[in-house]
Structure 1
Amino acid sequence: MKSSCIALMIMGAFSSAAMAEDFIKLTGKAEIGFHAFRENGVSKREFQDAGSELNVVGQADIGNGLTALLQVNTDVKLDNSKGSDHFANGDTFVGLRGDFGTVKLGRGINAYGDGYFKANFYKYDISPASAGIPSGGGDNRGAFKYEAPLLDGLALSLSYAPGKDKTESSRATDAWAVSGTYEKGRFGMRLSQAGQSSVDGRSKQDTLLAFKLQPQPGLTLSLELDRARNESGQRQFASATYAEYKPARLGLRAGYLTASDAGFVVGSRQRTALLGMDYDLSARDSRFQARLFLEARSDKLDGAERKRDLIAGVHIGF
């Protein structure tokens, strides 16, 4: 029943697009692989989804220099695993764009951003740990986001989300985020700040400073620094370096993440290493982009047993 409803909605969207000059289209990706890992000292194997999703994206010229925007993002699980298993469970919003910039209302529209450049990993697409401030995602009730017009490579944005705290208090706690991203030539950088109040008057905050450099075609390097503080005033510092080299069909990527006082525990340290590669099976101008990928992750937290993951799979984007 659920699948039929989604199919009808998509068909209706395309029917409307056929009658209008403005576009609405279906995009997405299917990613699944063979996953080998150790859990509680036991070796396990399974087929696991690596981030499949479907998107309905559209825009319409409504006159007076204004453009209406729409995005409906649904995360899907090819391995039939559960979670937030419902339609429009991802980054979904409506918006309005004009000379003043862009305004969006919906979920998943966090101005803080989920990292800057993370080397295009598939399953292991991760960033330095933060304070867990939602500001437009997670279980909160949506957000407002404003994106200023691009000014000579500089993009500014802010978001505000009326959230709810995890103590089930009757008082809602609001989250906010601001960011500035500058990109010109082969250099880019981002500075983001996010915060959320708590019911007792305290707050948690998170700051991200990131840099990106493309020294030669096909090679991208990046560095991310993250400093977070929770409601109790405890701090955590994390850093990540990423590299990707993909001059043609074959791509190689690596990442190394560290966190001091990890999980806001004084003296705790976490280290994560990432390696990956992929190979394009499709031509660049193909409607479907098919790739094979292989990724490995090694994670170490203090004196605990090192965790190792390996996944090999296929990606099809459209």
Structure 2
Amino acid sequence: MQKKLIALAVAGLMSAPAFAQSNVTIYGVVDFGYKWTGDSALSGYDSRSAIDSGISAGNRLGFKGTEDLGNGLKASFVYETGIVGDRSGSNGLWGGAGSRQSYIALSGNFGTVALGRQYTPAHALLAGNIDPFGFGKGTVASLANVYISPARLDNLAAYVSPTFGGFSVVAAYTNQYSGDETSGNGFGNDEDAWTDARAWAIAPTYKNGPVYVALNVHQIRGNAAEASGQNVVGTVKAWDLGGTYDFGVVKVGAVYGVNDIKDVVKHKQWALTAAVPVGAAGKVQASFVRRKSEVDAGSDARVSQWGIGYEHALSKRTALYTAYADINNKGAADDGVYSASIGDATGTTEGAYQRGFTVGVRHSF
């Protein structure tokens, strides 16, 4: 209640019409801990030890609100910014304010239509369900270190259907592909790398009791352009099929996907995951992920990673966590373009470290 009152006061200072908002909430994540990374694939890099932020979930500050328009129709918005946390400033790597999410939506019996910067259907499949570590670059054991999949996109129009007997579908489209945070996909986060690029995605899902199954299919098509002195491709076709089953004593998951960048490389990737409850507040997390990159004009690359961790909830909003991961790049191509490394919440992979350990505390509000 106090958060909502504070949020309404802040909104009122910004603009008078905001007082008409039915429900505005300030929310966020504050995450700090110790992080060690070592076994660099590059010469001249020693191991690194530091107190970092966002090492189990990216630090963020967000505003969200809803307004009941009557006749079952609701308007809503989300505006969420990444925060560095362990030093001054916001996480500006992906555009600063509003870099995580920034969209407006209308919801009703027809479902939900949302416009703006949003998570992709592929990310919802991996982060929300299959990866026990959340599929975020902050976590050393995340599948995202190896498994290539876009997290968020700008200029996205998305539709989420109602659920019918456990079935639902998400469809999304953008005619200006930008804001992708993924590396190793042929275009990275260089927003000048695409000219008039268009992308669409569709993701049917079935969720009922302990069963979750989802398919994601997406395609990116644009004109080849010159960016950063390199030719970039015009077409990417990708699909992912995954699911989980909760046995009670363990929740297991699996995913297989193909990311085909025309005339450049075809990534074939898969992962197995598990989450084991420990008492009423703890859980052991484990995962293994492997990717084979079939390069059209070079040597194929094979990389894999295994990770294990433990999380203990001190309350509904505060948790302690620890994780360890080891990446194997011995099958990677000689130039290292498609090798993998431990990342962090800002996407930084400097040092090309192949092993990592974290322990910390996370609070959500």
Task: Report if TM-score (shorter chain) is over 0.5.
Answer: yes
SS at match of 2:262: coil
* Cα distance in 1 between the residues matched to 2:156 and 2:82: 19
Aligned counterpart for 1:203 among listed residues 229, 235, 238: 235
Structure 1 residues 259 and 64, CA, compared in 2 at 3 Å: closer, same or farther? Answer: same
Give how far 1:82 is off. 5.6
State the partner residue of 1:161.
174
State the partner residue of 2:322.
294
Q: How does 1:124-135 map to 2 (within 5 A)?
A: 124-127=141-144, 129-130=147-148
SS at match of 2:10: helix
Give how far 1:13 is off. 2.8
State the partner residue of 1:268.
301
Give how far 1:17 is off. 11
SS at match of 1:112: helix
Q: How does 1:177-188 map to 2 (within 5 A)?
A: 177-188=201-212
Q: Is the 8 A contact 2:294 2:301 kept in 1?
A: yes
SS at match of 1:12: helix
Is 2:97 the partner of 1:83? no
For 1:172, the aligned partner's letter is D
State the partner residue of 2:49.
45
Structure 1 residues 10 and 296, CA, compared in 2 at 3 Å: closer, same or farther? Answer: farther
State the partner residue of 2:11.
13
Give how far 1:85 is off. 6.1
State the partner residue of 1:117.
130
Q: How does 1:215-254 map to 2 (within 5 A)?
A: 215-216=247-248, 219-232=250-263, 234-246=265-277, 247-254=279-286
1:98-157 C-alpha deviation (Å, 9 max, x unpaired): 111110001024233351421145724434623x657x52xxx41100111111111101
Higher mean C-alpha deviation, range 298-307 or range 195-204: 298-307
Higher mean C-alpha deviation, range 239-248 or range 183-192: 239-248
Q: Percent identity?
A: 18
Q: For structure 1, list consecutive stretches of 5 or more residues without a partner in the other structure.
A: 1-7
For 1:12, the aligned partner's letter is V
State the TM-score, normalizing by the size of structure 2. Answer: 0.74
Give how far 1:86 is off. 2.0
1:157-196 C-alpha deviation (Å, 9 max, x unpaired): 1101122575947841111111011000111100000110
Structure 1 residues 85 and 197, CA, compared in 2 at 3 Å: closer, same or farther? Answer: closer
SS at match of 1:83: coil
For 1:161, the aligned partner's letter is T
SS at match of 1:113: helix
State the TM-score, normalizing by the size of structure 1. Answer: 0.84
Structure 1 residues 300 and 23, CA, compared in 2 at 3 Å: closer, same or farther? Answer: same
1:52-104 C-alpha deviation (Å, 9 max, x unpaired): 11221211111232100111111111122762362211122100001111100
* Cα distance in 2 between the residues matched to 1:173 and 1:18: 36
Structure 1 residues 170 and 215, CA, compared in 2 at 3 Å: closer, same or farther? Answer: closer
Is 2:288 the partner of 1:256? yes
Structure 1 residues 202 and 82, CA, compared in 2 at 3 Å: closer, same or farther? Answer: closer
State the partner residue of 1:66.
73
State the partner residue of 2:338.
none
* Cα distance in 1 between the residues matched to 2:324 and 2:194: 43
Higher mean C-alpha deviation, range 221-230 or range 37-46: 37-46
Structure 1 residues 236 and 79, CA, compared in 2 at 3 Å: closer, same or farther? Answer: same
Q: Is the 8 A contact 2:37 2:353 kept in 1?
A: no
Structure 1 residues 18 and 86, CA, compared in 2 at 3 Å: closer, same or farther? Answer: closer
1:201-230 C-alpha deviation (Å, 9 max, x unpaired): 95111100001100116x311001111100
Give how far 1:14 is off. 7.3
State the partner residue of 1:193.
217
